[in-house]
């Protein structure tokens, strides 16, 4: 926007920036209304000052969440949910690698038994990350895999289980019910489990991610999101709507294909990146 005066074209540019960043129509209209009020009340006349105010408003939509509910117990259980193709398998491997490097003893549960390929892919990634994995028969009971993994974790002295689940379409009721069953098995197997339920979202899917997040949150009480595939082509602006409408914090971002390409979400850096 530069240091020019605020004009009608400035507002058009601002709306275009937000829409192109996948912020979504409703959240864009909300932000523009907030900015128009601020421009009036604070006598903002320069485009660069308006952009600074926009960054403040965007940052306000991403409040700092409470720390992850992990640590301080014998066994942490993290459930990973998300649709097929969202980057769920690679995100699980990256999370396992991340926590193993932090000193945790991680065991994976391959509870996506509906797709044999899903278990095979997770096994490959587990080897790359040098973490152990528990699998079950193709088409078997996902809850049984989670139960067996919790038992194995205790027997092997592990202190964290990360469980994959079927990459079910969020509109399929029976599969959502299966996911709720897996969650109940985890709750019976470890006190307070799952301690975190993280939804993997593909940063390139735009506003469809909001619908996914709403359905998964209703089904299994999602506690946070992992934003996968956040690279130069995807801005990930849907997280503003997800935070504003669902109160769901982003916990991690994945930015590449290697195990190291995962980082805790930094809201300030994320907002700045939208303007580059």
β-bridge mates for residue 109, sequence order: 134, 163
Segment 226-252 shows an average pLDDT of: 89
Tell me: do 175 and 83 sit in the same domain.
Answer: yes
Q: Quickly tell me which residue has 């109940």 as its tokens.
A: 184
127: phi then psi, degrees, rounded to nearest 5: -65, -45
What's the structural domain count of the chain? 2
The helix/strand/coil state of 5 is strand
Name the average pLDDT for the chain.
Answer: 92
Model confidence band, residue 128 (pLDDT cutoffs 50, 70, 90): very high
CATH number, domain of 132, equals 3.40.50.300
Predicted confidence (pLDDT) per residue in 75-111, tens digit:
999 999 999 889 999 999 999 999 999 999 999 999 9
Domain with 55, as residue range(s), is: 8-60
When pLDDT is cut at 50, 70 and 90, the band that residue 2 belongs to is low
Residues 115 and 150 in one domain: yes
Residues 53, 157, single domain; the answer is no
Q: Is the pTM of this model over 0.75?
A: yes
Per-residue model confidence as pLDDT tens digits over 145-162 = 999 999 999 999 999 999
Strands 262-264 and 250-254, bridge-based pairing: antiparallel
Q: Is residue 210 part of a domain?
A: yes
- Side-chain-side CA neighbours of residue 275 (13 Å): 17
Query: For position 13, which CATH number holds?
Result: 1.20.120
Pairing of the two strands 76-81 and 196-202 = parallel
Q: Say yes or no to pLDDT of 232 above 70.
A: no
Is residue 115 predicted with pLDDT exceeding 90?
no
User: Are 48 and 125 contained in the same domain?
Assistant: no
Mark whether 44 and 87 lie in a shared domain. no
* Same domain for 83 and 52: no
Q: Is the domain of 105 the same as that of 172?
A: yes
Q: Quick one: 104 and 221 in the same domain?
A: yes
Contact between 96 and 129 (Cβ < 8 Å): yes
Q: pLDDT tens digits, residue range 19-55?
A: 988 999 999 999 999 999 999 999 999 999 999 999 9
Residue 1 pLDDT exceeds 70: no
**Share of residues in the chain with pLDDT > 70 (%):** 97
Dump strand ranges (E) for 86-223.
106-111, 132-134, 160-165, 196-202
The contacts of residue 21 (CB under 8 Å, 6+ apart) are 235, 236, 237, 274
70 in a structural domain? no
Looking at the structure, do residues 149 and 226 belong to the same domain, yes or no? yes
């Amino acid at each position: 926007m530069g240091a020019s005066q605020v004009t009608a074209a400035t507002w058009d540019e601002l709306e275009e920036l937000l829409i192109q960043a996948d912020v979504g129509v409703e959240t864009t209209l909300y932000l523009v209304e907030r900015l128009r009020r601020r421009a009036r009340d604070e006598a903002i006349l320069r485009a660069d000052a308006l952009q600074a105010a926009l960054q403040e408003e965007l940052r306000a939509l991403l409040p700092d969440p409470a720390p992850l509910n992990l640590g301080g117990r014998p066994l942490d259980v993290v459930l990973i949910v998300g649709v097929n193709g969202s980057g769920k398998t690679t995100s699980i491997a990256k999370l396992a690698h991340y926590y193993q490097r932090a000193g945790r003893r991680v065991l994976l549960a391959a509870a996506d038994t509906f797709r044999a390929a899903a278990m095979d892919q997770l096994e490959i990634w587990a080897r790359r990350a040098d973490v152990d994995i528990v699998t079950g028969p193709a088409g078997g009971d996902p809850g049984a895999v989670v139960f067996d993994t919790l038992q194995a974790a205790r027997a092997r002295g592990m202190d964290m289980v990360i469980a994959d689940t079927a990459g079910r379409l969020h509109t399929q009721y029976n599969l959502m019910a299966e996911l709720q069953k897996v969650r109940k098995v985890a709750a019976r197997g470890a006190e307070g489990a799952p301690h975190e339920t993280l939804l993997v979202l593909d940063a390139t899917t735009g506003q469809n991610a909001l619908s996914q997040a709403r359905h998964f949150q209703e089904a299994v009480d999602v506690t946070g999101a992992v934003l996968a595939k956040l690279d130069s082509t995807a801005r990930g602006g849907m997280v503003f709507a997800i935070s504003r409408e669902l109160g769901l914090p982003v916990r991690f971002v994945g930015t590449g294909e290697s195990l190291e390409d995962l980082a805790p979400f930094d809201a300030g850096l994320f907002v700045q990146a939208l303007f580059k």
